[in-house]
Amino acid sequence: MNLIRLSVVGLAVALLMTGCGRRRSNSRVDFSQMGPSINAKRYANLEKIAARDLQCDAELSPQYLGENQYRMIGCNTEGVYELRCLMGHCAWIPDVRLRAEFDLGCGKLEFQTTKMDRVTTGVTGCGKRATYRLIRAGFGYSWVLNSAVAQDEVPAPAPTLAPADEVPVPTEL
C-alpha cells in the first residue's frame, strides 16, 4: 500500500516538473523576445490594463520596444506601457498620452513624447505642449500635469514680395 502511494506521489511530482498541472503561459507570445522582466503573469496583467485603457476587447498585439517598454496594438489604436520593478515588486506605468489626450484636447496618436528624466515627460501635439510628472498612486502609478498647457506659437506668415512685373517707381528727395 505504501509503495502504491509513493509511486502515485512520485508520478504527480514528475508531471508537475514537466509542466502538467502548472498555469499555461500565453502561447502566442514569445517571452524570450519580450525583455528580461516579463513573464506570463505580468503579461496577463499588461493585457488587462491595455484592454481597459484602449477600450478594446479584441486580441491585442504586443511589441517590445526595449528598456521594459511595450506597445500594445489593437482596435485601430495603441498604447505604450513601461514595466518598473523595485525590490521584486513590479508595476505597469500607463501611457502618458492617455492623460494628455484629456488635458490637451486632441487625439493621442498626434502626440510626441520626450522623456526629460525618470519621472518627467513632455508631451507636444496639435500646437500645444505640457509636462507630466509620474507619481505613486496606491500600488501603481499615475501621470499628473506638472505645468500649464502652453500654446505653441505659430510662425507669422512670411511677407509676400511684389510680383516681378511690378517695378518700383524711383522717388527723388
Q: Are residues 89 and 99 in the same domain?
A: no
Which of 43, 71, 93 is at the close of a domain?
93
- What's the confidence (pLDDT) of residue 25? 42
Smallest CA-to-CA distance from 128 within 109, 145, 105 is with 105
Nearest to 95 by CA among 73, 76, 117: 73
Residue 9 lies in a domain: no
Report pLDDT for 108.
Answer: 86
Q: Does 107 share its domain with 77? A: no
Are residue 121 and residue 139 in the same domain, yes or no?
yes
Domain span holding position 83: 25-93
Indicate whether 169 belongs to any domain.
no
pLDDT along the chain (173 residues), means of 10: 65 52 53 85 94 92 92 94 88 94 91 94 94 90 93 66 62 70
Model pLDDT, residue 139: 80
Q: What is the Cβ-side half-sphere exposure of residue 168, based on CA atoms within 13 angstroms?
A: 5
Same domain membership, residue 111 and residue 89 = no
**What is the total count of domains within the chain?**
2
Kindly state whether residues 75 and 100 are assigned to the same domain: no
Complete DSSP assignment for 36-78: TT--HHHHHHHHHHHHHHHT--SPPEEEEEETTEEEEEETTEE
Same domain membership, residue 73 and residue 100 = no
